[in-house]
Structure formats: structure tokens, C-alpha cells
Structure 1
Amino acid sequence: MTDTTAGSGRRRSAEDRRGQLIGIGLGMLVDRPWHQITVDAVAHRAGISRGLLFHYFPTKQDYYAQLVRAAARRFLRAIDSDPGADPLRSMIAHFVRYMRRRSGPVIGLLRAAGQDPVIEAIIEQLHDELTDRVFAALGRAAPSTAERLLVRSWWAMAQELTAQWLVRDDVDQDRLDELLFITLSRVLDSAATRRTAAR
């Protein structure tokens, strides 16, 4: 099966074509959740047949899994803390900013668990990474199970609060950033108090 770049006659490598197809899906995620993206639409935008798409991704599920992994990596890169900044405040500010630009797709991504076991595993890994980043920012290498659960719960609250906040007309990002920082600080203080009392 030959796969060439339209108009150039140059044969595309399999890696190059897979990257292009995932890139198209990521572009479509800007205005819709992942499960509303069809492989037919992706193939059409790439200028290839549906059958050729399945040459690179054996099943529709495989394409969606790769797309969700790529979206999760993009999301994590977007909330990286700025060098030299307070790591928690910077991460929260980037999270809110990214949610402001792409709240619909992000919420669709973060709520994807349960729709498919492969997708669910990817989203679980994403939530684990988000939790790890909080403790890494604090220089904490071995948080307790209770502390990890508290921070995972804070992320769920942060996602819901931010999504609701951003649909209002009087959005003040600085105020939201501070509110999220304060609630996270209180969650962490509560966890530390419980840890100290248990000794």
C-alpha cells in the first residue's frame, strides 16, 4: 500500500503519517471532546482513505488510545511550572490558563475514564502524574496513600471549579488561581497534621 504526500510524490514514513494523523486529531480536540472525533473525518482531513488510516492504526480504539495519550502529554506540558517561579502557584496558573483556552476538550479528556478500559488506564496514569507533580513541587518523595488521595481529590475539585468558573462573565483568573492555591494548601496542611498526629 503506497502512501505519498499529496502533490509531491514523496512517500511518507509510517512514523511520519501516524504523527500527522494524531496531530489532526489533536487539532480537532480544540473544539470537541475526543469521543466526538471520527476516523472518517481524520482520514478526510489527511487526504487519505479510511482504509489507509487503519493501515497505521489497526483499530479505531487504537487510534483513540494514541490520541488520548498525546492529548494527556500536551496537557501535562502545558501546566509545567516556570523556572524560578513558585512551582505550585505556577502550575495552577498554567492549568487555569489552559482550561480557559480548551476547557471543553480538557474536561472531556479528564472525564474519559469508564468509557473504555484502555482509555481509563491512560486517564488513571494522567491523574497519577498530576498528583505526583504536586508532591514533586513540594520536594516530597514518598507521600502516604491518604495524602495522595487527598491531592487527587483536590485535582478533581480544581477541574470542576475551574470549568464552572470559566463559564461566568466575571472571570478573574488571579482570584481563581489564588482560591485553588489556598484550597490545595489547606488540603496539604490537613494531611500534614494527620501525619503528625499519627506518630
Structure 2
Amino acid sequence: MTTGVRRRMGVEERRQQLIGVALELFSRRSPDEVSIDEIASAAGISRPLVYHYFPGKLSLYEAALKRASEDLAGRFVEPHEGPLGARLLRVMRRFFDFVDEHGPGFAALMRGGPAVGSSTTNALIDSVRQAAYVQILSHLDVAEPPARLELVVRSWISLAESTALLWLDGRGIPRAELESQLVHDFGALAAVSAAYDEETAAVVRRMLRDEPADGPFGDLVARLIALAS
């Protein structure tokens, strides 16, 4: 019989381990409900040792949030291949994967948690929104969007956030339907703004040019025609 030997970790390795443990716990329950003692126990170290690496739960939460925000921002990265509707649908699937995996932590962040309101937290949230915004504009092949198109993209990102929060409350609507609906929402918001602004209209025409009839935007058009008939 052999006895396992606990390997001594370096400072940065231990910090990263604690961040991972905290993120896992925050993903299952609201950060307010997770204690330093639980984090220490899950990491296999003492409570004082946690404080050796982080001055308190707030600093550990912010570090975990930074890792989560980088992960979430990465979910919006998508190859520029194929129709836009299909690309956005893949993005929404990855976005909801994250929401599903980190439900309580995601909700606590957006609704109010131990670090909400701090400059660090606000900057991280804004960085995710900005990363999503930049990615969407790149898929639209627009460097400097007209005011109405900027409003469309930023409003849609906010809509995706609020939709995810409402879904987490009861999951009353099948996730796949919401993912498709959010892609439809983007198309509808863009189309309405295009009716008021020729610059946005030019972008929307280009956006729809290569969309197949059986793609998300084609499905939206078919649904609207059926609704009006």
C-alpha cells in the first residue's frame, strides 16, 4: 500500500487553484452563500492559508470573476465563415452553455453580489459587453457603426443578458428556443432600425444577402409572413 504525498504548490499555482475552487463553488451557489471555510476545505488547505493568498472573500471573488469574464468574452469569438445567422446561433449556444454552467454566480453578478458596484466588478462586466460588441461588429464588417446600428448591437447584448437571467429563474422556455429567438431578435431589431436609417439598411441588406431560406433569419421571415397572413 502506498501513501499519497501532497505536492507543495508555488504561490501562483496555489492562487490559481483557489480561484478555480472558488469559481466552482460560486457556480453552484450565490457567492454570498459561500464561506472562506468552504473554499479552504474544498482546496484542502486551512482558512488562514486562504488569507495568505487573498486578503478576503471579496478579492477572491473578483479574481474568480475575472477568470469567468474572460471565459464568457471568449464565447463570443466565432470564425467568420458561413451565414451570419448560423454564426450568431453558435454564439448563443456557447453563451447559454456558460449561463447553464455558472447559473448562481452569473445571476449574482448581474443582480447584485458581494463585489457588485466595485470599480473592479463594473470594469469586468463592461469588458465582456465591449468584447461582445466588438465581435458582433466584426461579423457585420463594420468598423464605425452609425448611431442606430450601435444602439441595435448594444441593446441586443443587454437583451441576451436579461433573457438569460429570466431563464435561470424557472427555465420555463426550452433553452434551444431561446437561443433561436435571440438570433431572431437581433434580425428584427436590425430590420426595424434599417427602416429609419439608410446606413443601417445597407448593413442589413449585406447581412441578409447570403442567408439561406432554412437559416435562422429565413425562419424569422417565414414566421412573420405566417403571422401576417
TM-score, scaled to structure 2? 0.69
Q: Go from structure 1 to structure 2 and tell me whether the alpha carbon gap of 1:175 and 1:133 turns closer, same or farther (over 3 Å shift).
A: same
Tell me which residue corresponds to 1:94: 94
Q: Go from structure 1 to structure 2 and tell me whether the alpha carbon gap of 1:156 and 1:195 turns closer, same or farther (over 3 Å shift).
A: same
Tell me which residue corresponds to 1:105: 105
Q: How many residues align?
A: 191
Deviations 1:57-85 (A, max 9, x none): 23433222111111112223345447845
Contact 1:26 1:67 (C-alpha < 8 Å) held by counterparts: yes
Higher relative contact order (CA 8 A, sep 6+): 2
Correspondences of 1:7-156 after superposition (within 5 Å): 8=5, 10-81=7-78, 84=81, 86-112=86-112, 114-144=116-146, 146-156=148-158
Instruction: Please report how far the alpha carbon of residue 124 of structure 1 lies from its aligned counterpart in structure 2 after TM superposition.
Output: 1.5
Which segment is superposed worse, 45-54 or 13-22?
A: 45-54
Q: Go from structure 1 to structure 2 and tell me whether the alpha carbon gap of 1:83 and 1:103 turns closer, same or farther (over 3 Å shift).
A: farther
Which segment is superposed worse, 46-55 or 186-195?
A: 186-195
Correspondences of 1:158-197 after superposition (within 5 Å): 158-165=160-167, 167-169=170-172, 171-196=173-198
Instruction: Please report how far the alpha carbon of residue 114 of structure 1 lies from its aligned counterpart in structure 2 after TM superposition.
Output: 4.5
Tell me which residue corresponds to 2:205: none
Instruction: Please report how far the alpha carbon of residue 18 of structure 1 lies from its aligned counterpart in structure 2 after TM superposition.
Output: 0.6
Matching residue's letter, 1:51: P
Q: Go from structure 1 to structure 2 and tell me whether the alpha carbon gap of 1:114 and 1:55 turns closer, same or farther (over 3 Å shift).
A: closer
Q: Go from structure 1 to structure 2 and tell me whether the alpha carbon gap of 1:79 and 1:148 turns closer, same or farther (over 3 Å shift).
A: same
TM-score, scaled to structure 1? 0.78
Q: State, as a whole percentage, how many aligned pairs show the same letter.
A: 26
RMSD: 2.9
Matching residue's letter, 1:93: R
Deviations 1:150-176 (A, max 9, x none): 32222222222233346244x333432
Q: Go from structure 1 to structure 2 and tell me whether the alpha carbon gap of 1:174 and 1:118 turns closer, same or farther (over 3 Å shift).
A: closer
Contact 1:81 1:91 (C-alpha < 8 Å) held by counterparts: yes
Instruction: Please report how far the alpha carbon of residue 47 of structure 1 lies from its aligned counterpart in structure 2 after TM superposition.
Output: 2.2
Matching residue's letter, 2:123: A
Contact 2:29 2:105 (C-alpha < 8 Å) held by counterparts: yes
Instruction: Please report how far the alpha carbon of residue 132 of structure 1 lies from its aligned counterpart in structure 2 after TM superposition.
Output: 1.8
Q: Go from structure 1 to structure 2 and tell me whether the alpha carbon gap of 1:45 and 1:55 turns closer, same or farther (over 3 Å shift).
A: same
Deviations 1:74-123 (A, max 9, x none): 22334544784532121122223433444332222334584322212211
Matching residue's letter, 1:26: L
Rg larger in structure: 2
